[in-house]
């Protein structure tokens, strides 16, 4: 982690070093792929409307697949046709040698370093040009000024810092998976909060509200009627993203090790060819009404409040969530100065 005592000049220099290092490591990795890649598959974005039953288009040739893979890996900046909140994805699979694994790990080291220096720049300003027409100068975010100086004004933060997923059977062993299955997954963002926290938040919102406050009054009354310090779930809608289910050969206990990994970029695996058991990503997600219902649900299906997407935990789950919160409070007190 970078020291907060670093000056703006030191942070700019560090940013330049990591931008150059990331570009060079990506160049080495993509060059290796074009020459030595043992197998490659890349999902193709469908043209026009598509659903989960739409047939997949014909596979690209190896050379064209690798060309598109390299292009996606090196896409560190926004393109002209890319909206401000759009992130490009490229689900796929790359089969490489031990040298390829080492090169992918090197790319990830530079991505982590770049993310670190960008975080260190948050909240800092520096004098720069604020009006291109008049040349007027004034305070601007340090990150903007520094990126412009390295011709990276259009840096896409997430595309530049998201790491390659290198498949490893254990933290110390790479291994070769027996099965990889891609699918679309929608995971809600569920965060634990508490009765008292929400009451305080709603009282502040009610005081600032200029219109009818009756909804806040009803929600505050509902929360007040709950048990003290009852844990509650704040639920935000999830994004649908590609995931990969990976299975390795059975261990000493006869059971295969399994992992679930994000797959917004091509996964990198060690081996000599694509797995025989490879389930490729469908053109589009399965419609919601065709999906199986989850059996591990912890929260009630209907929101408790009108003003916030808050749900109660199921009755048999509440004691465990309360205990988790108490342990977390103890840990935070133990580490407080």
Name the residue with higher pLDDT: 53 or 214: 214
**Does 21 fall in a domain?**
yes
Number of structural domains found in the chain? 2
Same domain, 22 and 153: yes
Same domain, 239 and 310: yes
pLDDT tens, position by position, 198-253: 999 999 999 888 778 899 999 999 999 999 999 999 998 878 899 999 999 877 77
How large is the average pLDDT for residues 105-115? 97
**Does 205 fall in a domain?**
yes
Nearest to 262 by CA among 87, 124, 100, 110: 87
pLDDT confidence of residue 50: 72
pLDDT confidence of residue 16: 97
Same domain, 29 and 155: yes
What pTM, to 2 d.p., does this model score?
Answer: 0.76
**Does 168 fall in a domain?**
no
Name the residue with higher pLDDT: 32 or 185: 32
pLDDT tens, position by position, 278-319: 999 988 887 654 544 454 578 898 999 999 999 999 999 999
Same domain, 14 and 157: yes
CA angle 263/266/272 to nearest 5° reads: 125
**Does 315 fall in a domain?**
yes
How large is the average pLDDT for residues 7-23? 96
pLDDT confidence of residue 327: 82
Q: Is 235 exposed, middle or buried (0-12, 13-18, 19+ CB in 10 A)?
A: middle
Same domain, 91 and 153: yes
pLDDT tens, position by position, 150-204: 999 999 999 999 999 999 998 888 889 999 999 998 877 788 999 999 999 999 9
Same domain, 304 and 245: yes
Sequence-distant contacts of 216-220: CB under 8 A, at least 24 apart? 216/307, 218/306, 219/305, 219/306, 219/307, 219/308
**Does 231 fall in a domain?**
yes
Name the residue with higher pLDDT: 53 or 190: 190
pLDDT tens, position by position, 125-147: 998 778 778 888 889 999 999 99
Task: Give the chain's mean pLDDT.
Answer: 89
pLDDT over 70 percentage in the chain:
93
| pLDDT tier, 4 (very low <50, low <70, confident <90, very high otherwise) | low
- Of 11-15, 65-69, 99-103, 249-253, minimum mean pLDDT range: 249-253
Residue 52, pLDDT above cutoff 70: no
Residue 42, pLDDT above cutoff 50: yes
Same domain, 190 and 325: yes
Domain range spanning residue 303?
A: 184-259+292-335
pLDDT confidence of residue 292: 47
Nearest to 184 by CA among 89, 104, 269: 89
**Does 265 fall in a domain?**
no
**Does 178 fall in a domain?**
no
**Does 77 fall in a domain?**
yes
Which of 128, 161, 194 is at the close of a domain? Answer: 161
């Amino acid at each position: 982690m970078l020291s907060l005592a670093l000056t703006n000049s030191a942070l700019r220099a560090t940013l330049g070093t990591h931008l150059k290092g990331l570009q060079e490591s990506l160049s080495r990795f993509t060059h290796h792929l074009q020459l030595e890649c043992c197998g490659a598959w890349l999902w193709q974005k469908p043209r026009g409307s598509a659903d989960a039953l739409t047939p997949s288009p014909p596979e690209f040739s190896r050379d064209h697949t690798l060309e598109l893979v390299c292009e996606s890996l090196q896409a560190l900046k926004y393109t002209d046709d890319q909206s401000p909140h759009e992130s490009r994805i490229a689900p796929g699979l790359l089969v490489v040698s031990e040298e390829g694994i080492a090169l992918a790990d090197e790319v990830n080291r530079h991505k982590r370093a770049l993310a670190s220096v960008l975080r260190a720049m948050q909240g800092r300003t520096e004098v720069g040009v604020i009006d291109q027409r008049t040349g007027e100068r004034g305070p601007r975010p340090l990150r903007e000024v520094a990126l412009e100086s390295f011709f990276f004004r259009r840096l896409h933060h997430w595309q530049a810092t998201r790491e390659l997923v290198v498949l490893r059977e254990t933290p110390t062993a790479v291994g070769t998976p027996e099965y990889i299955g891609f699918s679309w997954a929608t995971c809600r963002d569920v965060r634990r909060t508490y009765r008292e926290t929400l009451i305080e938040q709603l009282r502040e919102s009610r005081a600032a509200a200029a219109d009818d406050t009756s909804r806040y009054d009803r929600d505050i009354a509902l929360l007040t009627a709950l048990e003290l310090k009852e844990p509650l779930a704040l639920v935000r809608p999830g994004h649908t993203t590609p995931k990969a289910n990976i299975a390795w050969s059975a261990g000493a206990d006869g059971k295969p090790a399994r992992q679930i990994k994000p797959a917004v970029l091509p996964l990198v695996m060690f081996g000599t060819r694509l797995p025989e058991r490879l389930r490729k990503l469908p053109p589009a997600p399965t419609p919601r009404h065709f999906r199986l219902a989850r059996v591990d649900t912890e929260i009630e299906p209907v929101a408790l409040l009108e003003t916030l997407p808050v749900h109660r935990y199921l009755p048999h789950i509440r004691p465990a969530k309360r205990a988790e919160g108490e342990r977390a409070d103890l840990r935070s007190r133990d580490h407080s100065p």
